[in-house]
Structure 1
Amino acid sequence: MENAAERLKHLLHAVPEQFGRMSEAEVSERPMPDKWSPKEALGHLCDSAVNNLPRFIKIQYEKQPYVLVPYDQDQWVALQDYQNTPAEEILNLWSGLNNWILKAIEKIPAEKLSFPCVTVHQETKSLQWLIDDYVEHMEYHLNRQILKNNV
């Protein structure tokens, strides 16, 4: 748990600093017409936080194994119109959500980290795996689409 929490703490410090230095034009530029801009990718990470926070909580008390319900990532990004939202608003949302997630995961008792969940691919994984996967997913998007390997 400490590893995921420590990595998330690092991101909560590094991302606002680095993303905040980028111009609105830079964060709005799509690499290709069908690819997300850095703003949209950060918005996607907000959507991921919105969907994963309840999972982190519910796995601890609902019937086991907890079954993860998928969501349409492209629809979430499009319908929330991150492309036309000021970058500062998206960054503030991302920071707030992930500070709350950090608080939540730091309070999970060690014995609950092994509680099972079933992924969208019908694999049984642990709550610890889901937390680690959440942070890895964030690092992937930050390094590939948003901050270009600067975190």
Structure 2
Amino acid sequence: MRDIIERLNYHIQEVPIKVKQFSEEEFSEQLLGKWSKKETLGHLCDSATNNHHRFIKIQIEGQPFVIGPYNQNNWVIIQDYQSMQPYEIVDYWTTLNKLIAKIISKIPDEKLLYLCDIGDNKTVTLAELIEDYLRHMEHHLSQIFVTSSL
């Protein structure tokens, strides 16, 4: 988990700096059928919100913990990230991920093996769910930043 926490902390430091390098227009540009960079970062806030709760509940509720899906497109629409100021989304994302890093750092090793039912007759451990959270985040961060000149 140490590597995951280090990577989370790296992103917590770097994302606010990188976002400031975009103009409002660049950060808000919507491509046909796709989220803007702003909405993509908002989606990562929604992912953080959902996973923050999961990482706590998995440790205290029965096993396997059943993970329900959420409609990510509706979350982005209802939150209306497109109309928010970039700093509001960045601050929200940063705060959520600081909390997640703290939670992860305090999970006892034996609880990392707790099982999570992710549907379709599949189970993963809490450790694997945490790894997937970071993998998902980094995938979307690469969409935001790698496709730019940053």
TM-score w.r.t. the length of structure 1 is 0.94
Q: Percent identity?
A: 48
2:7 paired residue number: 7
* C-alpha distance in 2 between matches for 1:83 and 1:37: 8
Cα root mean square deviation, aligned: 1.4
In the alignment of these two chains, the number of paired residues is 149
The residue identity in structure 2 corresponding to 1:70 is: P
* C-alpha distance in 2 between matches for 1:51 and 1:5: 18
Matches within 5 A, 1:88-107: 88-107=87-106
Matches within 5 A, 1:101-120: 101-120=100-119
Displacement after TM superposition at 1:70 (Å): 0.6
The residue identity in structure 1 corresponding to 2:145 is: L
Listed as ranges, the gaps of 5+ residues in structure 1 are none
Listed as ranges, the gaps of 5+ residues in structure 2 are none
Q: 1:149 to 1:100 in 2, by over 3 A?
A: farther
1:48 paired residue number: 47
Which contiguous aligned blocks of 4+ residues in structure 1 show a shift greater than 2 angstroms?
A: none
Contact 1:142 1:149 in 2 (8 A): no
1:21 paired residue number: 21
TM-score w.r.t. the length of structure 2 is 0.95
* C-alpha distance in 1 between matches for 2:50 and 2:18: 25
Displacement after TM superposition at 1:33 (Å): 2.3
* C-alpha distance in 2 between matches for 1:5 and 1:142: 16
Displacement after TM superposition at 1:149 (Å): 6.3
